[in-house]
Amino acid sequence: MPKRSEDDVTTEELPPSVPTLPAPSAAHFLFEVGGVRYEAVRELEVRPSGERLLKVERRVADGALSGLCLVRRIAIPSTHMQRMRMIEEVQLAFRLNHPNIAQVFHMEVDEEEDAPYAIMEYVGGPSLETLVCAALVRGKPLSEGFCLYVGAEVADALHYAHTLTSEKGVPLGIVHRDVSPRHIALGLHGEVKVLDFGAAYSLLVGREESPENLLRGDVAYASPEYLRKEGLTSRSDVFSLGVLLVETLTSRHLFEVSDVPLVAAKESRLRPEMQPSLPLQQMQALMATFGPDVVERAVAHLNEDLKAVLHTALRLNPEERFATAADMRDALRGVAHAQLREPYGRAEAAKEASLVVSEGGVLRDVVEFGEAGLYPDGLEKHELGLPKKE
């Protein structure tokens, strides 16, 4: 979905049921927990559903700033199915506990506004989307070392989610199904975080699936089987990660929709839940002719070992891809070990990210990119929760 900064959001665009916040300079009290006040100081994003992502300061009893966090104010769903999906999202979020997955700490309904709030881990650095855009602006892609490191960390997080089981040991069958640069972020020390399992599919008992004609997540990174509304497996996320890595390594998306005239795309009964970054009909038309030659043209300049990993991840037939995200993780780490002269980890990633944003940011007034301050400094990685209203 195209980014919207806080300057782009107007009162007229918001659903009538979503009150606006005051100007960023005037903190807006949200709630208090154990003497700690949570005050919203900026509205960072408004989604078509009415959800808002808020930058929130925490202040102790004497008024001193104790840290920052993200609070997601969720619009009340209008249908039973949408409410069920919201409940499922919360259930999934609390089950995920991995160092490469951004945590959701607490959710509770504000009884005064009758609106759910979620307190979320605050990632200190930029999203991968910002880094790719900054690299494009400066005219030089991110390094292979950076991409191999990020790809392996994301694959490790996905494998954890894919293999998570219930308390009784029953596989939950979680598939992220929205693995895109927007949902990968870098922490202050170079740690990689996968964000937003809100579009995730799972086999939770009693869950409500998306309607048959509804596609969740950004279809620009969707697997062929998902665009055909066929069965999803962990290999669907493997494909999406492959598309993400091609873009990160080349500063160009794997699929060039400009090559497909809009009139050539057939009418589709499917519809994306949110505005995709690439048109759905053109994506479907491109996928109809997708094959190894498309991948080869995009990655021809890369080393053979890395190309082999991408070709395997991006097979049209899911059975020909890596069997698990862990297999892809190990393959990426193998390439890093064989091709890189020096080890590449958190410190190197943090240093490169800072350089890329700095170099790309020189033209920020000319080329708009990034999440408009979505991940500023100041995270303390713990939360207590929301209070009940008296």
**pLDDT tens, 200-214?**
566 554 444 544 444
Query: In this structure, what token pair is assigned to residue 278?
Result: 């690439």
End-to-end Cα spacing for the chain: 39
- pLDDT band for position 356 (50/70/90)? very high
What residue type is assigned to position 19 of the chain? P
Residues of the chain with CATH 1.10.510.10: 128-361
What residue type is assigned to position 349 of the chain? A
CATH code for 11-120?
Answer: 3.30.200.20
* Residue 167: pLDDT over 90: no
* Residue 165: pLDDT over 60: yes
Distance CA 238, CA 328 (A): 8
Query: Considering the entire predicted model, what is its pTM?
Result: 0.77
Determine the distance from the C-alpha atom of residue 140 to the mean position of all C-alpha atoms in its chain, rounded to a whole number.
Answer: 23
Task: Check if 8 is active-site.
Answer: no
Is residue 234 a contact partner of residue 321, using CB atoms and an 8 Å limit?
no
Q: What is the pLDDT of residue 201?
A: 61
Q: What is the pLDDT of residues 255-279, one digit of tens each?
A: 876 655 554 445 555 444 555 555 6
Average pLDDT, the chain: 75
What residue type is assigned to position 119 of the chain? I
Distance CA 226, CA 84 (A): 22
Is residue 353 a contact partner of residue 126, using CB atoms and an 8 Å limit?
yes
| Helix (H) / strand (E) containing 243 | helix 234-250
CATH of 128-361, one of 3.40.50.720, 3.40.50.12780, 1.10.510.10, 2.60.40.10: 1.10.510.10
Q: What is the pLDDT of residue 304?
A: 96
Q: Which long-range contacts (CB under 8 A, 24 or more apart) does 10-19 make?
A: 13/46, 14/46, 14/50, 15/50, 15/75, 17/50, 17/75, 17/76, 18/46, 18/50, 18/52, 18/73, 18/75, 19/113
* Residue 316: pLDDT over 50: yes
CB atoms within 10 A of CB 211: 10
In 3-state terms, what secondary structure has residue 128? Answer: helix
Residues of the chain with CATH 3.30.200.20: 11-120
Q: What is the pLDDT of residues 85-119, one digit of tens each?
A: 666 666 677 788 999 998 877 766 666 666 677 77
Catalytic-labelled residue, pool 7, 62, 178, 327: 178
Distance CA 262, CA 153 (A): 37
CA dist list (Å): 314 to 31, 149, 311: 46, 19, 5
Q: What is the pLDDT of residue 390?
A: 37
